[in-house]
Chains A and B, each alone.
Chain A
Amino acid sequence: MTEQVENLIRKDYSAGFHTNIESDTLKPGLDEGVVRFISAKKEEPEWMLEWRLKAFRAWQEMEEPTWAHVHYPTINFQALSYYSAPKSMADKPKSLAEVDPELLDMYAKLGIPLHEQEALAGVAVDAVIDSVSVVTTYRAKLEEAGVIFCPISEAIKRFPELVRKYLGTVVPQKDNFYAALNSAVFSDGSFVYIPKGTRCPMELSTYFRINEMNTGQFERTLIVADEGSYVSYLEGCTAPMRDENQLHAAVVELVALDDAQIKYSTVQNWYPGDKEGKGGIYNFVTKRGICHRNARISWTQVETGSAITWKYPSCILKGDNSVGEFYSVALTNNFQQADTGTKMIHIGKNTRSTIVAKGISAGRSQSAYRGLVRINAGAEGARNYTQCDSLLIGDRCGAHTFPYIESKNSSAQIEHEATTSKVSDDQLFLCQQRGLDAEKAVSMIVNGFCREVFKELPMEFAVEAGKLLEVSLEGSVG
C-alpha cells in the first residue's frame, strides 16, 4: 500500500515551462552599488534610496536564521542576480496593446488571461514577471471607486506620502534576515489603497512569475485598508522547472485601520523541484498584518510548491476587538520541506484569533507547523482557537508541530487541538470498491481533509486550489 500511495504522488509540474523573453539582467553579486542601481532604474526619490541603504547596511550585519525545520546548502548571496526585467518593458507599455505578446502568451499559458474582457469576471490582476510588474488590469474601474491598485514602483512615485507613511511599519527593515534583504533590493510588487468606508468593487489579484535563471525574486506588497473599508486580495505564484534552486524572498505588509477588513488569499505553486529533490524555489517570505480597532485580517493560504517554504503570515492585533485569522493548507511531496505557520500577537482588549492549519505530507517530504500565540498583559479577554491537523500519505514522510503559547493575561482563553491521521488502506479501498480510481480517491480524501480551509477561499480560487492539490498528488498511488 505504501508503495501504492507513493506512486500516486509522482506529478508533473504543469507551470514548468520557460518563456523566451529577452531580459536585462544585472550581473550576479550584491553591494551598495546594486542597491543604488535598482533604485536608479526605478527612478526613485532620494528617501526611498536612503530607506533601502539603511536596510542593506542592517542586512550585512545579520545572520541567516537556522531555527526552522528545513535543511539546504548555504545560499551564496553573491552568486545571485538582483535585477531582471523583460527588455520589452524598458520603454514601459502604457496599455495592454503595447505589452509584448510573448509575455501575454506566457500568462495565458498559466491560465491567467490579462485581456480584461477575458479575465476572470470581476478580478483585477497585477502580473509581475521576474522583478517587474507587467500589467495591471481594470485600473480605470478601480480608480472610479478611489481604489489604488498599481505596481509599488509606480506608487512610490505617484503616492509618495501614502507609501512613506506605511512602508516598513508592519515589517521593519531589520525585522529578519530575509526581510532586510528584501527591503534593500525589492524591485516591484503591488500596492493597494482602499479609501475610507469603501468596499473594493472587485477581487484584486497579483500573479508572480519567476522566469529568468539565477535570479532572486524580491517583491514587496503593501495593502492599506483605510477606516471601515474592505478588500479581498489573491496572490498566485509559479516558476519554470530548473535544476538550480532559485531564491524568492518577498515581504507583504497589511494595514487594516479601524473597522477595516482585509482578506488575503494565496495559492502558492512555485516549482517544487523534481522527484529526486533537484531544483525548486527557496521561498522565504515575511507576511504580516496589523489590525487597528475592530479590524479583521484573514490569511488563507494553499501552499503546494517550493522546495523550501519558510513562511509565517501573522497578525498584530493592536486595536481592541480586532480579529486575526489564519487558514492554511500546506502540501509537501517528494523532497519538499515546509516550515510554516503563523503568529498571533494579542495586544488590544477582547482580541480574537483563529488558526486552522492543515498539513499534508507525501513522498519523503517534511512539513512543520510553527505557531506562536502571544497574549500581552493588556489584552484583557483575548481568545485564541488553534486547530492543527496533519495527514500523512505513505510512511516515509514526516509532520511536526511546534506550537508556542505565551500568555501574560490570566483572563485569556486559549484552546489548542491537534490531530495526525493517515490516508488509510480501508478508505482507499472503499472508494475504489465504489468505482473511483486510486488517484481520484486520494485527491478526494485530501480535499475532504482541507474542506475547512477551502471554504475560506474565494470561489474561483477554491476550485483552482482543489485542482492544484489533485495535480500535486498525481502519481501518489498506482
Chain B
Amino acid sequence: MLEIHNLNARVEGADILRNLSLSVKPGEVHAIMGPNGAGKSTLGNVLSGRPGYEVTSGEVLFNSKNLLELEIEERAREGLFLAFQYPVEIPGVTNMEFLKASVDARRKHLGLPDLSSFDFMKLARETSKKVSLDPAFLKRGVNEGFSGGEKKRNEIMQMMLLEPNLCILDETDSGLDIDALQVVAAGVNAMRDGKRSFIVVTHYQRLLDYIVPDFVHVLAAGRIVKTGGKDLALELEAKGYAWLEDEGA
C-alpha cells in the first residue's frame, strides 16, 4: 500500500524529516506518536503534496506508483486522504457542493459514473448522521463557523464519502469530547475492511483504546525511533518520550 524509504524533507530551509522509512500494508492501522514539533504533521503534508514541503531525497510508493511524482489532486484521487489537524473554512461554498465535487472527481478517476444529485444528497445525509452531524450542516459553508469538534467530524464525514485507500488522520482526536471521540473511532472502525489502511497521528493513548492499532511508532526529530505494538502507547503514556532519547535513538 505505502512504502516510504529514507525520506528526507525540508520546510522553509530546515530539514524536518530525516531518513524516515515506513511500510504500511493493506488493512493495517499504524499509530504515530511523538513530541511536538517532531515532524508528524510534516509527514502527512509531504505525503499529500502540500506546497512548501520539499523532498530532498527518498522514495515513496503508493499503490506501486511513485507518489512523489503525482500532483496533489492526483494523489487524492488515487485514494490518499488527509484529515487535517486544523481544517480551514471556505465561506459560501456549501459542504454539499464541495463534497459532491470531491466525490465526482474521485469517481471519475476510478472510471465510475457521477452520482445523481439526488443519490448523492441521500448518501451525504446518511453519512452525516453516522458522524452525528445534523444534515443541516451540509447546507452550510465548508467548516464555516463550525466548532472545533464539528470540523473534525466533518473531516471524518468527507473520509467516509470518499472511501480512500489510505487515510491519514492528524490529531483528529484533539479537541473532541468523549462522545465525539467515540463517534470518530466508530467511523474509522466501520471503514476497516481488511484492505483500507490508516495512519493515525495522536498524542493520546485514549484514542487507541477505541481504534486499536497494529503498530505504534514513535516519531522524534524527523525519524521513527521506536516501533511496537499497541502496548507501546501505554508505556509512552506512563514514561513520556525522554527515555527513548536515552536509548540512543
Interface residues of A (CB under 8 A from B): 1, 4, 424-427, 429-438, 440, 444-445, 447-452
Contact = CB atoms under 8 A, between A and B. Distances in A.
A436 B87 CA distance: 16
A432 to B, nearest CB: 4
A141 to B, nearest CB: 33
Interface in B47-89: 48-52, 71-73, 76-77, 81-82, 84, 87-89
Interface stretch (B6-14, B97-105, B205-213): B97-105
B73 A436 contact: yes
B109 A448 contact: no
A432 B72 contact: yes
Contacts of A427: 88-90
Interface in B1-59: 48-52
A165 to B, nearest CB: 44
A425 B109 CA distance: 24
Contacts of B77: 435
How would you classify the secondary structure of chain B's contact residues: helix, strand, loop or mixed?
A: mixed
B97 A435 contact: no
8 closest cross-chain pairs (CB), A and B? A448-B92, A448-B93, A435-B105, A434-B102, A432-B72, A435-B76, A451-B92, A426-B88
B54 to A, nearest CB: 14
A433 B77 CA distance: 9
Contact of A434 (B51, B71, B91, B162): B162
B109 to A, nearest CB: 7
A450 B73 contact: no
A434 B102 CA distance: 5
B101 A433 contact: no
Contacts of A450: 92
A103 to B, nearest CB: 38
A462 to B, nearest CB: 14
Given A427-B88, A435-B106, A435-B162, A448 B141 contact: yes
Nearest to A430: B88
Given A444-B98, A445-B93, A450-B92, A435 B109 contact: yes
A468 to B, nearest CB: 17
A97 to B, nearest CB: 41
Contacts, number: 75
A452 B73 CA distance: 29
Given A429-B72, A434-B76, A435-B109, A445 B102 contact: no
Contacts of B162: 434-435
B197 interface: no
A445 B101 contact: no
A255 to B, nearest CB: 35
A445 B106 CA distance: 19
A62 B68 CA distance: 64
Among A1, A429, A437, A449, find the residue whose CB has the most chain B CB atoms closer than 10 A.
Answer: A429
A440 B101 contact: yes
Given A432-B72, A444-B98, A447-B93, 18 more contacts: A425-B51, A426-B88, A430-B88, A432-B71, A433-B50, A433-B72, A433-B81, A434-B76, A434-B101, A436-B73, A437-B105, A438-B73, A444-B90, A444-B101, A445-B90, A448-B94, A449-B91, A451-B92
B158 interface: yes
B101 A430 contact: no
Contact of A435 (B52, B73, B141): B73
A425 B97 CA distance: 20
A363 B50 CA distance: 23
Contacts of B82: 433
Given A434-B162, A435-B73, A444-B101, A424 B92 contact: no
Nearest to B107: A435
B15 to A, nearest CB: 22
A429 B45 CA distance: 10
Contacts of B141: 448
Interface string B126-157: 00000000000000011000000000000000
